[in-house]
Amino acid sequence: MTQTLLLTDPLFLRHEPGPEHPERPARLESVLNLLEKEPIHGTERKAARPATEEELAATHTPRLREYLKGLRGRHDVIDPDTMTSPDSYDAAVLAAGASVQAVEEVMAGRARNAFVLARPPGHHATPDQAMGFCLFNNVAIAAEAARRQGAERVLILDWDVHHGNGTQAAFWTRRDVLYMSSHQYPYYPGTGAPHEVGEGLGAGYTVNCGLPEGATDADHGALYHDLFVPVAEAFRPDLVLVSAGFDAHREDPIGGMVLTERGFGAMCTAMRDLADRMCGGKLVLLLEGGYSLEGLSRSVHACVEVMAGEMKDNFPDGVSREAAAALQLSREALKKHWSVLGR
């Protein structure tokens, strides 16, 4: 069994949203270059495979799929944030396929865990709309694949600095997929308030904690200790998926948080340990945002070190008054759904 599978492909570098766009090929180049320069024992790199039409259809509407297919081979503008180049559609289909492939490898026991190093990212894409740099929602497509592979309960944790509105929308009324998100709030795209907890059968299965600008490693540690890990343990996932955005890094030019690479390592450690306790270590990370090349590459490297068993990071102690207040709002909104949060 491979300890940590890394899935990537040169096609991901040919998605070109524009020379001034923050979601540029240099992001992934910087990640891959550092992994080449400082290789991590226990990792294996494989080429990605594209998603099938059926795999895309499990998450996205026919209207969106046909619209995006029509952009193949073209430069186009979907919205002020989201542009395509001639290879963007094929790169997006490959990113979605790599996400499914990672799930297949981990669920089958051929890899203990996996990291999908792909672009474009995906967590803002709703079932019917591409937006926010994203075309297809890779983590939602991966979760649907996991359900088909026999996982009864799938956990998605999203630590990108922006709320994953598209992933939330995909599972808003469902209880087989638990969506948990930490994000800067209020911030783009405007969703992710603590009272957004899902509806119908899915009530309580969306967990949002919007942290204030300036949130630290320690603030995130309190969130994991007092909310994310207890709820996740009560949910008992068969697979843990992470929308791994790194734009909460202190060097990021877009986000306003001050996480360090070892803070990301601590979050990854928490999810690795959770997966070890709950589901035999089945853990898949999928690259989302992160726009400081140094901060992104060092943070991805830190997470791969944790996944491969080379490192174990812990959160520092302490929590700010502002972060504690945000955490309490989320706990209050979810108490009636999760007894582990008290009554």
Mean pLDDT for the stretch of residues 270-280: 98
What is residue 74's three-state secondary structure? coil
Closest CA to 174 of 115, 223, 127, 222: 127
Closest CA to 275 of 246, 309, 250: 309
Burial of 306 (0-12, 13-18, 19+ CB in 10 A): buried
9-39 pLDDT per residue, tens: 999 999 999 989 999 999 999 999 999 999 9
d(CA 281, CA 307): 10
Closest CA to 308 of 275, 272, 278, 263: 272
Q: Which residues contact 42 (CB under 8 A, 6 or more apart)?
A: 2, 3, 4, 308, 309, 310
Point out which residues pair with 126 in neighbouring strands: 129
**What phi and psi values does residue 117 have, to the nearest 5 degrees?**
-100, 85
Q: Please check the confidence at residue 343 and state whether its pLDDT lies above 80.
A: no
Q: Where are the domains of the chain?
A: 2-341
**What phi and psi values does residue 253 have, to the nearest 5 degrees?**
-80, -10
Q: Give the type of residue at 323.
A: A
**Structure tokens, 278:** 């709950």
Q: In what order do the strands lie in the sheet with 206-211?
A: 43-47, 2-8, 111-116, 283-287, 239-244, 154-158, 177-184, 206-211
pLDDT confidence of residue 342:
87
d(CA 263, CA 96): 27
d(CA 2, CA 55): 25
Q: Which residues contact 143 (CB under 8 A, 6 or more apart)?
A: 154, 156, 170, 171, 177, 241
What is residue 57's three-state secondary structure? helix
d(CA 155, CA 180): 8
d(CA 102, CA 99): 5
d(CA 178, CA 242): 12
Q: Please check the confidence at residue 313 and state whether its pLDDT lies above 90.
A: yes
Percent of the chain residues past pLDDT 90, beyond the cut: 99
Cα→Cα distances 84→18, 133, 166, Å: 8, 9, 19
1-17 pLDDT per residue, tens: 999 999 999 999 999 99
Q: Give the type of residue at 162.
A: H
Q: Choosing from 60, 123, 124, 220, which is the catalytic residue?
A: 124
What's the mean per-residue pLDDT of the chain? 98
60 is a catalytic site residue: no
Q: Give the type of residue at 32.
A: L
Closest CA to 161 of 139, 192, 183, 188: 183
Assigned architecture for domain 2-341: 3-Layer(aba) Sandwich (3.40)
Closest CA to 154 of 8, 278, 57, 52: 278
Q: Please check the confidence at residue 284 and state whether its pLDDT lies above 80.
A: yes
Closest CA to 31 of 118, 144, 114: 118
90-112 pLDDT per residue, tens: 999 999 999 999 999 999 999 99
Closest CA to 330 of 175, 219, 170, 173: 219
Say what angle helices 88-107 and 138-148 make with each other, to 10 degrees: 40
Mean pLDDT for the stretch of residues 213-237: 98
Mean pLDDT for the stretch of residues 191-200: 98
